[in-house]
Chains A and B, each alone.
Chain A
Amino acid sequence: DSGVTQTPKHLITATGQRVTLRCSPRSGDLSVYWYQQSLDQGLQFLIQYYNGEERAKGNILERFSAQQFPDLHSELNLSSLELGDSALYFCASSVGGSFGDTQYFGPGTRLTVL
């Protein structure tokens, strides 16, 4: 158990819908990272927050947004969903904001868009 929690575990929804994925980092970790993992794209970095502020952006679509709250939990919002958004979405956390820090991954949310 990494100490990172993600909810929900599974999500099935229809195209055009909007969903929110939630992540709670390990106690004491200030950084939260979001990743998308699909069969054809591998593990893609989406976005990082550090202590409530956006730190780095990766391959995140404009239809997706995220935020980190004062209690350091984070939410990833996916809107106007398409079939191709079906994937595993992972959250990871680390103590600091450096990308060299070890990241601790949550169990993931499996999103299926029908």
Chain B
Amino acid sequence: SQQGEEDPQALSIQEGENATMNCSYKTSINNLQWYRQNSGRGLVHLILIRSNEREKHSGRLRVTLDTSKKSSSLLITASRAADTASYFCATDPTGGFKTIFGAGTRLFVKA
């Protein structure tokens, strides 16, 4: 099964609301990244958080990492219709040899 598992699978919210997506993983990691994918397009890197960091911000994005629970969350504040996309977490396992992507959360932001 996937190293990274996003939750929920799909999320539908109104414009202006906050959206929170969660990612759980199984093994120790060096870092965790979040990517966005618009329908049928390539993934776009959003933010990277290292294993020794607990929280990171980038514009309207806030990422937290709890290595004791092996989980991360991505918060998008004041969502916009343009935020409609799939969001993936990707982990870089320690001692591993490849980045592992989760199945993604599909976010729908209604105008």
Contact = CB atoms under 8 A, between A and B. Distances in A.
Interface residues of A, number: 23
Given A42-B2, A42-B104, A107-B41, A102 B98 contact: no
Contacts of A106: 42
A45 B30 contact: no
B10 interface: no
A90 B31 contact: no
Interface residues of B, number: 23
B43 A90 contact: yes
A4 interface: yes
A45 B89 CA distance: 14
Interface in B4-41: 30-31, 33, 35, 40-41
Interface string A26-53: 0000000001000000110100100000
Interface of A: 2, 4, 35, 42-43, 45, 48, 56, 58, 88, 90, 92, 98-100, 102-108, 110
